Amino acid sequence: MTTTAQTYAGAAPSARGGSITRNRRKVLILSYVFLVLFVIFFLTPPLYMFITSLKTSAEISAEVSPWWVFSPTLANYIQLLTSPVYLTFFRNSILVSTFVVAITMVVSILAAFSLARMKFWGSATLATGVFLTYLIPDTLLFIPMFKTFAFLHDLTGIEFINHWWVLVIIYPTLTIPFCTWIMIGYFSSIPKELDEAALIDGASYMQLLTKIFVPVALPGIIAAAIFAFTVSWAQFLYPLAFTTSTDQLVLPVGIVTTLIKGDVFNWGQIMTGALLGAAPPLILYAFLMDYYIAGLTAGATKG
Amino acid sequence: MSVIAHADRIQAPPGAAVRRRKSFLRRRSTVAFFMALPLILIVALLVLYPASYAVYLSTLNKTMERFVGFGNFLFLFKRDSFWMVVEQSVIFAVTAVLFKAVIGLVVAHFVHNLPAKGQRKWRGMLLVPWVIPPAMSTLAWLWLFDPSYSAFNWIFAHFGIDPVPWLGNPYWARFAVILVNVWVGAPFFMIMYLAALKSVPDQLYEAAEIDGANWFQKLWYVTLPMMRNIISITVLFSLIVTFANFDIVRVLTNGGPLDQTQVFATWAFRLGIESNDIPLGASVSLFMFPVLAFAAIFILRDINRRGNEA
């Protein structure tokens, strides 16, 4: 069918049926060509990270093609994965992200259930307000927060600045508004008959939430948790402003501030550190891509 | 749910039932309020309070002992470096958002053209820049732009093109910062627009085709009007995020050369945290607020309109 259409179209381009098939083929080929170009553009930096991470310092400064590894080595990986400093960054990142995801999920599931289903005075305004808070950027809040923590230190004697756990207090401001917002969307889509039935059976609101809403909206909860994890893993400004000692830093800041020091950049190690730092969200994404995309699009489409 | 276990509840006298329903209603909203309380506290203490505290801080002098009113703002207005930051922030945000939206739309169309079962893996590859933490991927760009070992310049040398001073020259540095921002943000637009494209009914395109519309007319009269909502929301949203961007500029150029790539966020960090002039830093960061409010009003209007339709 396609071959006849092709030859027919080649002989008489004006023929209607033939030109549509030919156009479709042309569009398809064109799409593949441009997609390959865009994929090259989008994947060059991570690939180049990987290429550099396999090189020795000698090869990096040698006069050979930077786009190829001539004598691959895992030395950079071994060095970093046995370096106590780098492992501390990793541990801090894991601790902060885990706590933040846990806090975010508890707070936003409770709040979303309350705002989507139970309603109270001002709950509709609050739901919109939550979305608006999501729009207030971290770059507007870090200076007053910095000052507030200094003030709280004077007041209570607890040192907030330069401890990794201060990030656990701050990061939820980045994750909770958006997670609550998408959870409201997921919870609202659950049919009302379901909770009426459960309430008639004598379920309490807490049971309604844990036995019906959470299981039914599980895909949404996973999407929100992935979002919270990605955001807290990638956050850069707050740790840069609030933590300084090497043992309190999280990965992104740790790599930027400790591996880049002085005039001699060890690019092999920097790229390895950056790649390992990007690995957890990338692995999560590789396995849970659909949830990831659902979370991304939910904010705009469910609104 | 266990019906039998709670069957005794149904057999209550009618008067008690009314009373119970009243307290039940009261309890319902009380329970709801307590469930939302952690959220309210976090938003109030860690977002609204700091935001209003920033306004107060911006009216103090450097040592934070004296009230100076609009003094900090007047001081900023007189400085050339402030206007340079305004200019750079606007150029940066507008150009980057424009290119992100256009590239996102184009790539979304290309993916949408593919047969349905092949789309997944292309989409998967194209979203990678959005998944990598920006501070990490910007390091890769920093290395690609390295003054002596730039891998791009190595390719250019093979075509006889002179090495490009990616981060050394103010204009190239501005270009580089925008390029990296587009690279990070375009996949997000692509995913959003792809989702929107899938929701446009095929019949509309068939009807347009029968009417003899060419591809541009189909795009202009069918696709774009159908996607209007999602386009406006993504553009406004991205405008806020890009205008407040910190990571990329900080890692790539740290504001240099000669403060030519400094944006509001990085400059506020330089003044407020690094130079220890908290009130001045707070004043600078507050200049992000008008853009934010502008975008927020439009997004809110859009949400309300859609809320009414539903």
Write the DSSP assignment of B91-154 as a string of letters. Answer: HHHHHHHHHHHHHHHHHHHHHHHS-GGGHHHHHHHHTHHHHS-HHHHHHHHHHHT-TTT-HHHH
Would you say residue A67 lies in a domain?
Answer: no
Would you say residue B66 lies in a domain?
Answer: no
CATH assignment of the domain containing B152: 1.10.3720.10
Residue A301: pLDDT above 50? no
Confidence category of residue B4, pLDDT binned at 50, 70, 90:
very low
Whole-angstrom Cα distance, residue A30 to residue A24? 10
Cα B249 from chain centroid? 15
Q: Is B39 near chain A, with CB under 8 Å?
A: yes
Would you say residue B65 lies in a domain?
Answer: no
Number of other CB atoms surrounding residue B21 within 10 Å: 10
Would you say residue A198 lies in a domain?
Answer: yes
* Sequential DSSP letters for A101-132: HHHHHHHHHHHHHIIIII--TTHHHHHHHHHH
* Sequential DSSP letters for B43-95: HIIIIIHHHHHHHHHTTB-TTS-SB-TTHHHHHHHT-HHHHHHHHHHHHHHHH
Q: Which of A66, A138, A144 sits opposite B154 (nearest CB)?
A: A66
Interface contact B265-A126, CB threshold 8 A? no
Would you say residue B2 lies in a domain?
Answer: no
Q: Is B33 near chain A, with CB under 8 Å?
A: yes
Would you say residue A63 lies in a domain?
Answer: no
Whether residues B22 and B135 share a domain: the answer is no
Split into its structural domains, chain B has a count of: 2
Would you say residue B262 lies in a domain?
Answer: yes
Whether residues B31 and B169 share a domain: the answer is no
Residue A200: pLDDT above 80? yes
Q: Which of A114, A137, A300 sits opposite B32 (nearest CB)?
A: A114
Containing domain of residue A179, as a range? 80-301
Output the CA–CA distances (angstroms, integers) from residue A50 to A113, A130, A278, B283, in the order listed: 44, 40, 11, 41
Nearest partner of A276 among A292, A248, A252, judged by Cα? A252
CATH assignment of the domain containing A103: 1.10.3720.10
For B213, phi and psi rounded to 5 degrees? Answer: -75, 140
Chain B nearest CA to A11, separation (Å): 22
Residue A3: pLDDT above 60? no
Residues of chain A in contact with residue B114, where contact means CB-CB under 8 angstroms, are 28, 31-32, 35
Whole-angstrom Cα distance, residue B204 to residue A94? 49
Q: Give A5-46 pLDDT, tens digit per residue.
A: 444 333 444 445 556 678 788 888 988 999 999 999 999 999
Would you say residue A138 lies in a domain?
Answer: yes
Q: Give B239-267 pLDDT, tens digit per residue.
A: 888 988 899 999 998 887 888 889 999 99
> What does the mean pLDDT of chain B come to?
84
Would you say residue B63 lies in a domain?
Answer: no
Would you say residue A116 lies in a domain?
Answer: yes
ipTM of this complex prediction, to 2 decimal places: 0.86
Whether residues A92 and A167 share a domain: the answer is yes
Whether residues A261 and A174 share a domain: the answer is yes
Which 170-209 residues of chain B touch chain A by CB within 8 A?
Answer: 183, 186-188, 191-192, 195
Chain A nearest CA to B161, separation (Å): 16
- At B63, list the tokens: 């040592």
Whether residues B40 and B159 share a domain: the answer is no
Would you say residue B283 lies in a domain?
Answer: yes
Identify the top-confidence range among A45-49, A71-75, A120-124. Answer: A45-49
Q: Which amino acid is at B268?
A: A
Containing domain of residue B36, as a range? 15-57
Nearest partner of B286 among A144, A152, A177, judged by Cα? A144
Q: What is the mean pLDDT of residues B168-187?
A: 92
Residue A108: pLDDT above 60? yes
Whether residues B246 and B113 share a domain: the answer is yes
Q: Is B166 near chain A, with CB under 8 Å?
A: no
Nearest partner of A3 among A16, A24, A21, judged by Cα? A21
Would you say residue B70 lies in a domain?
Answer: no
Would you say residue B140 lies in a domain?
Answer: yes
Q: Is A11 near chain B, with CB under 8 Å?
A: no
Interface contact B149-A61, CB threshold 8 A? yes
Split into its structural domains, chain A has a count of: 2
Residue B107: pLDDT above 50? yes
